[in-house]
Structure 1
Amino acid sequence: MNLMQPLARHHSVFFLILRRLRAPLILLITAMAISVLGLTLVPGPTENGEVQYLSFFHAVYFMSYTATTIGFGETPYAFSDQQRLWVVFSIYMSVFCWAYTLGTVFALLSDRNLRQAIATQRFVREVRRLREPFYLVCGYGETGRLICHALDRMGLRSVVLEIDEAKVGEIDLHSFAADVPALCADASNPELLGYAGLTHPNCAGVIALTNNDATNLAIAIAARLLAPKLPALCRAEHRETSANMASFGTRHIINPFERFGETLALALHAPIASQLLDWLTGIPGTAVDRDRRPPRGHWIVCGHGRFGRWMVDAMDAESLPVTIIDRGLQTDGTHRWVHGDGTGAEALLEAGVQKATGIVAGTNSDTDNLSIAVTARELNPELFVILRQNHHANHALFDAFESDITVLPSEIVAYECLAILSTPLLVPFLDEIRRRDEEWCSVQLERLTTRLGWNVPEIWSERVNLSKATALYRRLMRGETISLGMVLRSTTQADTYLDCEVLFLERDDDDHLLMPAHDTPLRPGDELLLAGTRHARNAFALGIANEHTLEYLVSGEDLPDGWIWRKFSRRKQQAAKPHLP
């Protein structure tokens, strides 16, 4: 994009103001000129037989302070009656001109187009001044707010485009550590994406989170054409949109309904693998319910919209009988169909809720979903309930009901985006797990939970390079052999290990290792995906970065720290050497 375009837009704001104020300014200048000219021509008092006239300078000086402050007095001498009459005329004329000018200014300030142009100018200036990596977040709804707060906690900047002016105003009310440049604009406009930093050298990625698939598709296309090297994370709620994005190479397409459909299908088909994924992808610190597994049997799906279709597909993949409750007309002949909304007992009883094993309340109304769940539980207390929550603001109601699984699409998208941004290795690792059988998943789940417990651990990645693993990288470059088990030792007791496990090891030569053994030798450039406690994370980072700590982990020797202690240590070693005769 031409960098002169924002500059031209900035100048257009200035010229727009001049055009709107053209008539008032001309009127003010004309009134000033008439007043000054009149004062120079009107005769003043007679002194020593000569009529006095104001000079041009004194006339301009007098009218300047008279027009703004209603005068300091008559200068350089007392005026004649003719001059005072002219001054009275000039004062009233200037009052009329100033009133007209101020009215025009107030009308101009309330003009929506001008305020938008000024806001755009300020926004472009803020984005241009960014000197650290930032993410362009398009859409500041529930998902966008979660993403921005998470990026802020990670020390990353964000720039926001949001079409709803009220949501843009909310950004200033939230406590961000760093300012978040935001603009009320349509993110599908590629010119505005350029203003928001799409082609900025410090832009680290684009996140399209609007609730409009067409807008997200336009953002994905603009990112692909204008900044093909940038990672683009795009939300899509329709299958056609996902397919369209995939056709031109969008890297990360996140359909919350499809993601949960895959999760449900995996839970029905491979419950151990699903439990392992829950343990790895949950909120750190929360406990994983060991017994929360969707049962096999007859299911009822209330609402056959986008979400409901994915749920039906997941159950069809496992050959489970499904009854659909929906207000619309039956769209297929393969499932039993009950006309209704499921909020009343009649439709649920007709669908066989008393003999069903599970129900999905998946309409786009939170009130209807809660009503369906409460009624179904009264009719069948043992029912497994999957409850769709559309708006985060209703979390108190959904928490009070205590469903077996609550699906909040905004959180699904936010967590997957954060996983991709913070730990890129997590995505290929989870793909590897989905391809493994139940026996392998059971062994790994037992091993990991035995060491780390059933609370969701911290998941992070470390790369063996000069910036993050200084000590380890230098030793490996010198040809030393250091195994994975050495750097996993405790920094205080070398005979014990940290409370963490290496889940995945990625190498530049595509020699990737899943759950690598402790005797695996490390190489420069390796990237590790780890799971463990916060203390273990800090200790591991210290061990691979600090030379003295790494020496202790490798050899068990605690090297002295500081120049004085190292000097005493060398003297002690020299004194201990045997003296030759």
Structure 2
Amino acid sequence: MFSRYTFIYALISLMFILICGMTSFWYFEGMSLFDALWLTIITITTVGYGDKVAHSIGGRIMTIVLIVGGIGLFAYVFNELITAVVENHLPSTWRRKKMMRGINNLNEHTIVCGIGRVGQEVSAQLKHEGVPFVVIEKNPTLIEKLQEKEVLYLIGDATIDQTLIKAGICKAKTIIITLPDDTSNLFITITCKDLNPQVRVIARATHPESIPRLKRSGANHVISPAAIAGSRMALTALKPASVAFVQNLTEITMVNLELEELPIYDTSPLAYQELRNSRLREDFNT
């Protein structure tokens, strides 16, 4: 079994022996530093070309030390390195560090808590729109799907403050909480508003009675998937044409129609104007 800390200690010990051997051959044999390093390496690796050997007592003593201790240590480090590659420890470590670099570079991004069925739909639309986001998920099975889609993710519990901080909650613009447990969603909402009062919180509510509680806790928007699905199905039965029209406007796969939202501030020339007087159609063909 690969042990990261044991491997690091063994690697440091090997580097120490290399430095000691190089210094000893340089001092006792009068070699250049490069030749001393060369002799140390070929001794530890048991190559022994014979082109350079130790002649002094001190040099020969160091050769004995390298043969007795260095060869075994080198074999151990090499074996641990192969084990790490075979057990996928090194690739996973590199992938995790690369992932954290990507997360740390995010700013004004979106955090998605949970990658269940609802979270997967949210992530798919965010990726389609090119919105920078990171997913927090503690289920390793669901994480594997994220790796295939090349999505930034963080393995951890979103109810823990440190996990949210690692995901960049203090720099985030929006957090979308999709967990099926209303209690967890409520706790995350409170924590997010405590860490970043300006963040926009969009929370999922499984039970109707949780909606006002989430809003009182600071959620800007509370979505009930069951209520929305039921309402959509009823409207489809009653007004199918209207539902189809709205769906065409908001469907992410549509290429001919786009629905965008742009904020208009008090200083804008469009502020407080009627739509017919705004000249949006004439100036922007919208």
How many angstroms apart in 2 are the aligned matches of 1:461 and 1:111? Answer: 44
* Distance in structure 2 (CA, Å) of the matches to 1:462 and 1:139: 26
Tell me the residue number matched to 1:278. 243
Q: Pairwise mapping of residues 123-522 of structure 1 onto structure 2 (< 5 A)?
A: 123-130=99-106, 134-174=109-149, 180-200=151-171, 203-262=172-231, 272=238, 275=240, 278-282=243-247, 284=248, 458=257, 460-461=259-260, 521-522=276-277
Shift of 1:99: 2.1
* Residue identity in the other structure for 1:224: K
Q: 1:164 to 1:137 in 2, by over 3 A?
A: same
Is the Cα contact below 8 Å between 1:119 and 1:183 reproduced in 2?
no
**3-state SS of paired residue (1:123):** helix
- Paired with 2:185 and 2:19, the residues of 1 have a C-alpha distance of 56
Q: 1:162 touches 1:187 (CA, 8 Å); kept in 2?
A: yes
Specify the code of the residue in structure 1 equivalent to 2:167: A
Give yes or no for the alignment of 1:21 onto 2:8.
Answer: yes
Contact 2:112 2:135 (C-alpha < 8 Å) held by counterparts: yes
- What are the residue-to-residue correspondences of 1:30-109 with 2, within 5 Å? 30=17, 33=20, 37=24, 54-55=29-30, 57=32, 59-68=36-45, 70-75=47-52, 87=63, 90-104=66-80
Q: How far 1:276 sits from its partner (Å)?
A: 6.5
Question: How much does 1:144 deviate?
Answer: 2.4
Residue 559 (structure 1) aligns with: none
What is the alpha-carbon distance in structure 1 between the residues aligned to residue 9 and residue 93 of structure 2? 19
Partners of 2:201 and 2:221 within 8 A in 1? yes
Residue type matched to 1:208 in 2? I
Distance apart, 1:220 and its partner CA:
1.7
Q: 1:119 and 1:199 mapped to 2: Cα distance?
A: 24
Q: Give the conservation status (yes or no) of the 8 Å contact 1:158–1:181.
A: yes
Task: Give the match for residue 328 of structure 1.
Answer: none
With normalisation by structure 2, the TM-score equals 0.70
TM-score, with length taken from structure 1: 0.38
Deviations 1:521-552 (A, max 9, x none): 3248x9xxxxxxxxxxxxx5xx4327xxx9xx
Deviations along 1:440-489, whole A, 9 cap, x unmatched?
Answer: xxxxxxxxxxxxxxxxx9572565979xxxxxx8xxx5xxxxxxxxxxxx
Evaluate the alpha carbon distance shift between residue 26 and residue 258 of structure 1 in structure 2; reply closer, same or farther with a 3 A threshold.
Answer: same
Change (3 A) 1:231 1:28: closer
Residue 238 of structure 1: SS of its match in structure 2?
Answer: coil
- Which has the larger helix fraction? 2
Alpha carbons 1:21, 1:105 under 8 Å: kept: no
- Pair 522,120 (structure 1): closer, same or farther in 2 beyond 3 Å: farther
Q: Which sections of structure 2, spanning at least 5 residues, go unmatched? A: none
Report which of the two structures shows the higher radius of gyration computed on alpha carbons.
1
Report Cα offsets for 1:118-165 as digits up to 9, x if no partner. 65543332123246x532122223322222222233232222222223
Contact 1:162–1:185 (8 Å) recurs in 2: yes
Query: Would you say the 8 A contact 1:28–1:98 is kept in 2?
Result: no
Separation in 1, partners of 2:262, 2:59? 86
Q: Is the 8 A contact 2:189 2:214 kept in 1?
A: yes
Q: Is the 8 A contact 1:21 1:104 kept in 2?
A: no
Report deviation, 1:72: 4.1
CA gap 1:32/1:150 in 2 versus in 1, 3 angstroms: closer
**What is the count of residue pairs matched by the alignment?**
275
Q: Percent identity?
A: 19
What is the alpha-carbon distance in structure 1 between the residues aligned to residue 264 and residue 210 of structure 2?
39
Q: Residues 148 and 508 from structure 1, CA distance in 2 versus in 1: closer, same or farther, beyond 3 angstroms?
A: same
Q: Hey, what's the Cα distance between the residues in 1 that align with 2:21 and 2:284?
A: 79
Cα gap change, 1:277/1:80 in structure 2, threshold over 3 Å: closer, same or farther?
Answer: same
Equivalents in 1 of 2:185, 2:67: separation in Å? Answer: 59
Question: Secondary structure at 1:460's aligned position in 2?
Answer: coil
Please give the alpha-carbon distance, in whole angstroms, between the structure 2 residues aligned to 1:180 and 1:193. 17
The one-letter amino acid paired with 2:283 is I
SS in 2 for 1:159: strand
| Aligned AA (1:215) | S
1:356-405 Cα shifts (integer Å, max 9, x gaps): xxxxxxxxxxxxxxxxxxxxxxxxxxxxxxxxxxxxxxxxxxxxxxxxxx
SS of structure 2 residue aligned to 1:183: strand
Paired residues of 2:14 and 2:74 also in contact (CA < 8 A): no
